Structure 1
């Protein structure tokens, strides 16, 4: 097959590990050692002069620390080098304006993870229809859930292989995230229709063709009642703790139970997002979404002492609802899924998409009287319909009129027209 018809794709696959108690203790020890290595690197960075902050000097400091501090030896050498690489990359992201400056990692507020840079060290083998085996450095052979075919054994070559992995721990236990490289056939252009999508809280995804993607509560009534009971118990036990006293085992167990229920809700939300975005990417060839700055939308309204904010409690509830819908993660899923199926995803400016009438194109005060219904107050129009559907139609119309965001030099540039022409009724 011609190389022009093939495309290289890199993706990740996460699987649940089945570890014994001893293996969990070993993996926990490696994760704590990796976090300590990061903190030592950060302390070294702040102590050294600028001209001596080089990867070579940092590597020498890491090697010396592994000799001087015994418990750091539980971390494999390649994993320690991965920590060094990640630390310098964090500073590069900061200098490029993509992230904040790196800081110390606390024991309780930092996620536990260990990197395995070399895929050949894993020695992956499928032993059962549902289980596979992998080698974890300084831990041994462990089992993981086999839910996706991986390029291993006779199916692996220089173009199709596992390049590495990362061990990640959450409230549900340890998982392994494989980094996979595959050579696939370049998809043909998707011939599906165009669709605009409006994201919201009441209706998570509203499509311009009238379809709506909704979901229920992530936890059942009993699970929500249990979560509330655990949160009340944790607050009561925390209230009786003296200042400076360590967290008791009972309180830690309560925190673990709360984290387990929240992780279950997140896993169900991820499953819904994957199924919904896959269906959209298979159905539509061009997907148009709003370019939302979510970090600004979820800022606190508390204000300052001199100028306190208004409706702080209501704004906090709205912020939690916005964060719970994870709009950014939905757009990320749509981006790579449409690309893999031959489709495209575009972003358009977000202002006034919910206030403009999709039939006449005018913004008339009082048209958005309620959250669910849009009634155009323009005497020459009078169009009425669902408010989310109206916004989705506006999103698609902006793309058709050429108001799409064009990525240039690492940032999004808006190609604006002088006037938004009225959208014909569709």
Structure 2
């Protein structure tokens, strides 16, 4: 935390690299060397007795490996040290219960990345309104797409600087993700109103004031037809392959085309989420959402051999729709964007928010007659309205009643607390 009302902020910025075919080939070599280094470290870990699994011994092992194996030498020394640090951090996360144990990285399933730990090695300059130049170790000067102001040159100092980067390869090409550190004024408390948000599939975001945010298909009609044709082509080629036979280059090329279209859809979805959550964070001071356990919601209905499930295909389609909306990512984006503006995000219990009438409070199982229509079953009320709007009002009502979920002892519990105005993020 800085002085004089300033606070430290760390974030990432991703930009597209413009690599020549020769530079892309060298980048692929570095990425595969980094993946091989990880696999060698994991094999070394499994062979060594527990008392010899130390950072110093692992460091000596990878240094020896880079001297003995020429193809590992293409990986810069600092990038190799970053692989070592990441591997040991993976074991710490496992021991703390935050993730499973690390494993070997496959050639075609693992993400290909290369770390540049030191920001001073990048030597970033802006050469054009749309393009910048960055120095990549053992690659040289490379252009990247300039879409955001970065603290470089006269704008860089101790508090505002780029601390490092990571080179990431996805189906749309190589990108660079900068790690940026800035000092910014602490935000004043957000003076905007409160709102509840109900997430869904037909209506992605419904607010308690009647506002809704929706989107169309992430791929155009031609792109969807192209994706279907590629998936059918891949299925035919996979069907005619022999058991145990290596995947052909033609089938791999088809897989790459499928991955490219899916990555394009994901980019468009993320762009919509960023723009929508930014608009909500600018407008509202307190945002209330349901505490959904999404992992339980998308479990398969297949069942077991003794107790087979029902409507398995329909449940699979619902699970894909829920995963496509990425509700958890929406909450994550809202959390940090509200904190930067002095607002707050609050979670409330999810049960009965869609079955309770927001006008009279009566709860009945059959109140939600259709996906979009809510009809109160109370003889004294009979309120009728949009079901998503009704659920959003109920979510906001739970917050105003003080039923907010407060983490305690590693789990979320309901506590009735006095409402307070949102304070600046600390």
Alignment CA distance shift 1:293-1:365 (3 Å) = closer
User: C-alpha separation between the residues in 2 aligned to 1:69 and 1:140?
Assistant: 23
Aligned residues: 416
Cα RMSD between the aligned structures?
1.5
Report the equivalent of 2:158: 158
Instruction: State the partner residue of 2:115.
Output: 115
Tell me the equivalent position of 1:87: 87
1:331 aligned partner: 331
Does 1:266 pair with 2:284? Answer: no
| 48-57 vs 223-232, which moves further | 48-57
Q: Does 1:395 align with 2:395?
A: yes
Following TM superposition, by how much is the alpha carbon of 1:186 offset from its aligned partner in structure 2, in angstroms? Answer: 1.4
Q: Is the 8 A contact 2:303 2:309 kept in 1?
A: yes
Gaps of 5+ in 2: 418-426
Matches within 5 A, 1:18-417: 18-408=18-408, 411-417=410-416
Secondary structure of the residue aligned to 1:415 is: strand
Q: 3-state DSSP class of the match of 1:333?
A: helix
Aligned partners of 1:241 and 1:219: how far apart in 2? 30
Distance (whole Å) between structure 2 residues aligned to residue 378 and residue 417 of structure 1: 27
Give me the TM-score of the superposition, normalised by structure 2.
0.95
The answer to whether the 8 A contact 1:405-1:412 is kept is no
The answer to whether the 8 Å contact 1:121/1:135 transfers is yes
Contact 1:365/1:377 (CA < 8 Å) preserved in 2?
Answer: no
Structure 1 position 254, deviation (Å):
1.3
For residue 403 of structure 2, give the secondary structure of its aligned residue in structure 1.
coil
Q: Note the alpha carbon deviations across 1:303-330, whole angstroms, 9 max, x for none.
A: 2222222111111101100110011111
The SS at the match of 1:3 is coil
TM-score of the two chains, using structure 1 as the length reference: 0.95
- Once the two structures are TM-superposed, the CA of residue 417 in structure 1 deviates from its matched residue by 4.8
Q: CA 1:343–1:412 in 2, change beyond 3 Å: closer, same or farther?
A: farther
Query: For the residues of structure 1 that align with 2:5 and 2:395, how far apart are their CA atoms?
Result: 33
Deviations 1:65-96 (A, max 9, x none): 21222211111111111111111111111122
Quote the offset at 1:412 in angstroms. 4.4
Match of 1:3 in 2: 3
Deviates more, 1:49-58 or 1:70-79: 49-58
Q: What is the distance in 2 between the residues matched to 1:222 and 1:350?
A: 39
Report if the CA contact (8 A) 1:194-1:287 is conserved.
yes
Unaligned runs of 5+ in 1: 419-426
